[in-house]
Amino acid sequence: MQKVFDELTIAFRKNRGVLSEIQYKEVVVKHTTLLEDSEIIFILLQASGYPIVQLEDSTFCLETYFTPYEEQCYCVLDIETNGSKPGSSQVIEIGAVMMKNGKAIDKFETFVECAYLPEYITKITGIEPIDLMGAPTRREALVRLKNFMGSAIFVAHNANFDYSFLNASFDRFGLGNIGNPKLCTIDLARRTFESERYGLAYLIDSLDIKTATHHRAYSDAVCATKVMEKSLETVPVHVKSTDDLLRFSISSKKERRVKKVNL
């Protein structure tokens, strides 16, 4: 499904956020099978968290293209794992904060049942094997996270790791792919304020973020939220919609100079 997400987003951006039924079908038909027509794919897109809606005139709309970034829901999350590779490791803790209009409107926090916890992970995180006993199973925890995220923007510090690890975990348990658009707070921070380094531990100190417990999922999610808040204080005036913010966060210096000149 990742190819569908990517190609649809490109098509939506070329057509100012709206696709006709024909244009939509032209994109998804490449990924249609005997069991999945374009209507089923639409249902799967929404279930995955991809921000697509169908309007009364049968056109399709990318919600993030029109939603002001301040009014968007952002699921800022962090995970702790018992290893770095999703094929041989698993999530052991998940923490997330749902943000909208600059405020936390909900939170999610859980340990995850795990039979094997290396000693070095305990030293890094402080999580003990007893903490994971009786915790929700992997599938239960992932289902709860998926329901919590909804169609919010997936936000994390070094988001590629969390996104790819969770995507593989969802797929392993038959929960589909993550279709939520992704925003990395490291990428956004590098484009909005100066810092010697952009690792979370360094930013916690340099931004004087209080009550942080590094390498614990919910605490790190809260800290990533603070980094994002700092970034949003200085985003350029041309960034108005959520899609503007997503594109700005991965923009090149040349692209930003062109935008600045054209204002």
pLDDT band at 257 (very low <50, low <70, confident <90, very high): confident
* pLDDT for the residue numbered 30: 81
Query: If you ran DSSP here, which 8-state letter would residue 92 be given?
Result: E
Residue 65 pLDDT more than 70?
yes
Nearest to 60 by CA among 32, 20, 22, 10: 20
pLDDT digit string, tens, across residues 18-58: 999 999 999 988 876 655 678 888 999 999 999 999 999 99
Distance CA 157, CA 84 (A): 16
* pLDDT for the residue numbered 32: 66
pLDDT band at 12 (very low <50, low <70, confident <90, very high): very high
Per the listing, tokens 């998926």 go with 146
Higher pLDDT pick, 256 / 60: 60
Helix (H) or strand (E) holding 153, with range, is: strand 153-156
Asked if 255 contacts 230 with a C-beta cutoff of 8 angstroms, the reply is no
Q: Record the tokens describing residue 199, joined without a space.
A: 């690792």
* pLDDT for the residue numbered 209: 85
Share of the chain above pLDDT 70, in %: 96
Average pLDDT over residues 226-255: 95
Residue 170 pLDDT more than 90?
yes
Query: In whole numbers, what is the pLDDT of the chain averaged over residues?
Result: 93
pLDDT band at 225 (very low <50, low <70, confident <90, very high): very high
- Which amino acid belongs to residue 54? Q
Residue 262 pLDDT more than 80?
no
Asked if 185 contacts 204 with a C-beta cutoff of 8 angstroms, the reply is no
Q: Which are the contacts of 121, defined by CB distance < 8 A and separation ≥ 6?
A: 80, 81, 82, 83, 92, 127
Distance CA 138, CA 136 (A): 7
Residue 261 pLDDT more than 70?
no
* pLDDT for the residue numbered 254: 87
pLDDT band at 256 (very low <50, low <70, confident <90, very high): confident
Domains of the chain: 2-66 (1.10.10), 69-236 (3.30.420.10)
Q: Record the tokens describing residue 141, joined without a space.
A: 């925890």
* pLDDT for the residue numbered 2: 87
* pLDDT for the residue numbered 211: 63
* CB-count exposure of residue 100 (10 Å: 0-12, 13-18, 19+): middle
Average pLDDT over residues 218-247: 96
Let me know how long the chain is: 263
Phi, psi torsion values for 97, nearest 5 degrees: -125, 130
pLDDT band at 118 (very low <50, low <70, confident <90, very high): very high
The DSSP bridge partners found for residue 74 are 99, 153
Residue 213 pLDDT more than 80?
no
Q: CA angle at residue 150 from 147 to 154, to 5 degrees?
A: 110
Nearest to 76 by CA among 178, 183, 171: 183
**Cα 199 off chain centre by:** 18
Dihedral angle sign, alpha carbons of residues 8, 12, 14, 15:
positive
Distance CA 135, CA 95 (A): 14
